[in-house]
Structure 1
């Protein structure tokens, strides 16, 4: 008898077929008010679940007594209460690596768009405001040869550093929980304190995971340390930044501009003050959103799920202690 799993995210048919070869699949394209009741009914005897963003904590686990694995279609897993999951001997997995280059492309796009005012000037042209007398009012700032500070030198941070070093001749500062010798050797990146990075960088790129230690890591104090010409880019999670402090920093011209792929509340409210600022480039949390990369992420999540329900060690196990007991 095949183990029963629940997929609660729209997946390509090829990925679903892969899972169905080994498992009985209960499939929900999305979870909403119409599907939650059925989802929790099916959860009672499910061995594994696959999806993203769903909060998996002690309360959730009470509804899933037979669960062996939770598979996130994401590199981030702040929706997982890892201690609670581990205490139940449930495996937790994510999908790192396959999205690094795609997210790095997005982050560089935000840097370039903010520096060269591309969304603002795109609208300027489309509204018929362009004239032959336009001059310095359309100027932006260079990206090449400027100093880039990366907070969080993980896989995506490394991919950003690669683009900065080899493509834009940017000196790189980085702050991380520990030194990354590969970044230092390959990209001549310099390890430094957060304060030094904020003071010295022309571009500040936040790529840290969301943990209790990184909630509102960047706030009023940090923005005041930055250069007035600095451009701030957040590609991590919205909660790593104090958004009210960011609004004030932009309004007070403590920093020049910002590029944001993430917000504290998603979707962001239409009347949020950041959305009315010409010097803020905004995206709807689409860092990894290409067909190619999302398919790779889904396939990796599926491999994690199948391996886990079959009692094997998944490729991307977050809590290996469950196999060490």
Structure 2
């Protein structure tokens, strides 16, 4: 059974042709065109049609399309209600794609929820039936899986880890309009803000990037931390402590078997773990302090595999 998969993020998109076992036959990554959502969907359709033609398939041989969207999704009608970073709102994604491609089964989902479904079907869900899934990237997203099923909540918004309040003394503003959210203090955006602040205040730290031959960024800061730079390590420790505080709230309430982390910042999970564990020790109920915190088994393409999984 062939499946189309659209992994549409705030900055990048991946379109793929796959099967229900998760095998990827064709894929292409390209920047997300945030200026015009419908035009961007047109490009996704053009790429999928090209993949089908390349493999000698008619569009009616594609059983369904899974679409990850970077924001709040009304899943029943497949409408993207709001995507803060892309600047999109009220986009009838399912209806538009179904009409354009003449495919009845188009399933739309929030990207982090899709990652969790992908983990259930293709990843660590084979080992854990109850877990929290966190994306730590530009922002912080979350999803809850209990007994192998995604928990949606009364209005479909369960698992919004990014908007747990983790800082009250010196809260930073969050794109949601609130202050002190985990997304404002434990995300890739927060990491970059701390790096910018420290390089501005600390000439020696700024010089360390010059010696590395790279501009200040999360990736270059990780290199410095792994090379023993104490300031770089302290930045990851601080971000990790906020993440650990948010994870502790979730753990205390739902008692998961594991917390699984994906997203770009998860590449530096080893640097974040000391801070995460420090907060877990401080804030988590004693019997649950040692919950496993693991990187996704699906790697960089966790969201793409999620798009396949929701269509299946």
TM-score, normalisation: structure 1: 0.31
More strand per residue: 1 or 2?
Answer: 2
TM-score, normalisation: structure 2: 0.32
Q: Whose radius of gyration is greater, 1 or 2?
A: 1
